């Protein structure tokens, strides 16, 4: 393959969306509301997210996981956002790399498109988690990028588990305090009984708000992150089942009341992926069931964009983030694109002439050998 170069120049309009520092958003939200952190992976979701954020006038966090970056290609995702930034003026957003390992965090940091990364080393023993998090903090802090770390296991805690078994999964508050002090991370994902996906709880188990309260007591003022924040509405599950899906009707998620209580207990960021996928599944199953002769992806795609936008706006309202954009516009740090395509933090909005110039060097260039493609998705 010949080395080749393509230069694309985007003119950022004066009123382009505000790409801001995750940490400043978290600090502004802390104790009052939570930021919806939405995992998105295709253009319909990006449109829906930005439309929903526009409607709600709510700041949002856009998240790409390591698996999503492998699936779509990081450049594809990152430049979907460059488009959204220009199409949706008025949106205030931060870009976060969700569930990274050390290599993907380094890659995200080097790309210049992210204002925070998550190092997910929670599966490792405590000391190794500390060490991995310290290394990522070292890489990021000198560039003004924030680090989310995780302590505890994001697995459902079941009724029949012993107290010891539950304790092994949930975040230990004393360890959380030590972990934050030793690593210097900027926010912490805590395990309080929820998990990723559609099947979060069995029996009477819900969020362990008592554990959250103790973590808050030890780490007052420090933003906590709730992973597994999807609501998994039963109506959505039923509609998917009626349209031929085989989801189990025991699927359930985090209730509105629990989310509100968690926000009062220092949760400033709520991660949501599954709910967006359930809407996607329901929209497409119903569409093709009702119109079996159809094969144009744009028809259900439009419905999905609208429904996802509506979902995002409603979720932001529930989290208390509606209408908070104007108060951030003045304080947030904008990530301003420089001419080498690497954003740099600056407090000024870019001028109308600010341009993002991307120099792609094909397979021989920057992206050489760093990633394969896989069809798996988180």
Among 271, 281, 333, 336, binds ligand 13P (CB under 6 A): 271
Long-range contacts of 75-79 (CB under 8 A, 24+ apart): 75/360, 75/367, 77/41, 78/111, 78/113, 79/358
Question: Is residue 196 near ligand 13P by the rule CB under 6 A?
Answer: yes
The SS3 call for residue 100 is strand
CB of 253 to ligand 13P, least distance (A): 6
- Cα Rg for the chain, rounded, in angstroms? 20
Question: Is residue 39 near ligand 13P by the rule CB under 6 A?
Answer: yes
Q: Which is nearer to ligand 13P, 22 or 230 (CB)?
A: 230
CB of 154 to ligand 13P, least distance (A): 7
Q: Residue 346 forms beta bridges with which residues?
A: 334
Active site residue 248: no
Q: Which is nearer to ligand 13P, 44 or 275 (CB)?
A: 275
**Residue 321 and residue 33 in contact, taking contact as beta carbons nearer than 8 Å:** yes
Nearest partner of 188 among 156, 223, 227, 229, judged by Cα? 223
Please give the structure tokens belonging to residue 32.
């009052």
Nearest partner of 40 among 276, 199, 236, 226, judged by Cα? 276
CB of 294 to ligand 13P, least distance (A): 29
Binding part of the chain for ligand 13P, among 140-148, 243-251, 257-265, 267-275 by CB under 6 A, reads 267-275
Question: Is residue 274 near ligand 13P by the rule CB under 6 A?
Answer: yes
Among 227, 282, 285, 334, binds ligand 13P (CB under 6 A): 227
Question: Is residue 44 near ligand 13P by the rule CB under 6 A?
Answer: no
Q: Which residue among 3, 70, 98, 210 is the active-site one?
A: 98
Surface-to-core class of residue 351, CB atoms within 10 Å of its CB (0-12 exposed, 13-18 middle, 19+ buried): exposed
Active site residues: 98
By the criterion CB under 6 A, which residues form the site for ligand 13P?
A: 39, 98-99, 196-197, 227-230, 271-275
């Amino acid at each position: 393959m010949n080395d080749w170069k393509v230069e694309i120049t985007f003119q950022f309009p004066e009123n382009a969306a505000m790409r801001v520092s995750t940490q400043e958003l978290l600090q502004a939200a802390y104790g009052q509301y939570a930021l919806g952190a939405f995992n998105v992976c295709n253009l319909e979701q990006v449109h829906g997210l930005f439309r929903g954020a526009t409607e709600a006038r709510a700041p949002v966090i856009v998240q790409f996981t390591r698996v999503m970056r492998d699936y779509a290609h990081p450049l594809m995702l990152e430049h979907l956002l460059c488009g959204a930034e220009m199409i949706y003026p008025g949106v205030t957003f931060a870009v976060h790399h969700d569930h990274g390992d050390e290599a993907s965090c380094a890659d995200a940091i080097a790309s210049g498109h992210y204002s925070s990364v998550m190092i997910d080393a929670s599966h490792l023993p405590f000391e190794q988690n500390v060490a991995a998090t310290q290394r990522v903090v070292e890489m990021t802090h000198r560039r003004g990028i924030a680090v989310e770390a995780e302590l505890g296991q994001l697995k459902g805690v079941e009724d029949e588990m012993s107290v010891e078994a539950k304790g092994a999964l949930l975040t230990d508050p004393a360890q959380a305090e030590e972990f934050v002090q030793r690593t210097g991370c900027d926010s912490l994902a805590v395990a309080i009984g929820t998990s990723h996906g559609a099947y979060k709880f069995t029996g009477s188990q819900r969020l362990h708000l008592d554990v959250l309260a103790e973590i808050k007591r030890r780490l007052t003022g420090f933003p906590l992150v709730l992973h597994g924040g999807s609501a998994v509405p039963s109506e959505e599950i039923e509609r998917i089942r009626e349209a031929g899906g085989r989801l189990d009707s025991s699927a359930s998620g985090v209730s509105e009341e629990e989310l509100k209580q968690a926000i009062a207990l220092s949760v400033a960021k709520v991660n949501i992926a599954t709910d967006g996928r359930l809407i996607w599944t329901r929209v497409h199953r119903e569409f093709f069931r009702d119109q079996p002769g159809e094969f144009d992806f744009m028809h259900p795609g439009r419905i999905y964009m609208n429904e996802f936008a509506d979902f995002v706006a409603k979720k932001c309202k529930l989290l208390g983030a509606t209408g908070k954009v104007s108060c951030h516009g003045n304080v947030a740090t904008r990530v301003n694109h420089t001419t080498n395509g690497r954003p740099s933090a600056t407090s000024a909005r870019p001028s109308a002439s600010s341009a993002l110039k991307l120099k792609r060097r094909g397979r021989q260039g920057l992206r050489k050998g760093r990633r394969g493609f896989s069809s798996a998705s988180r």
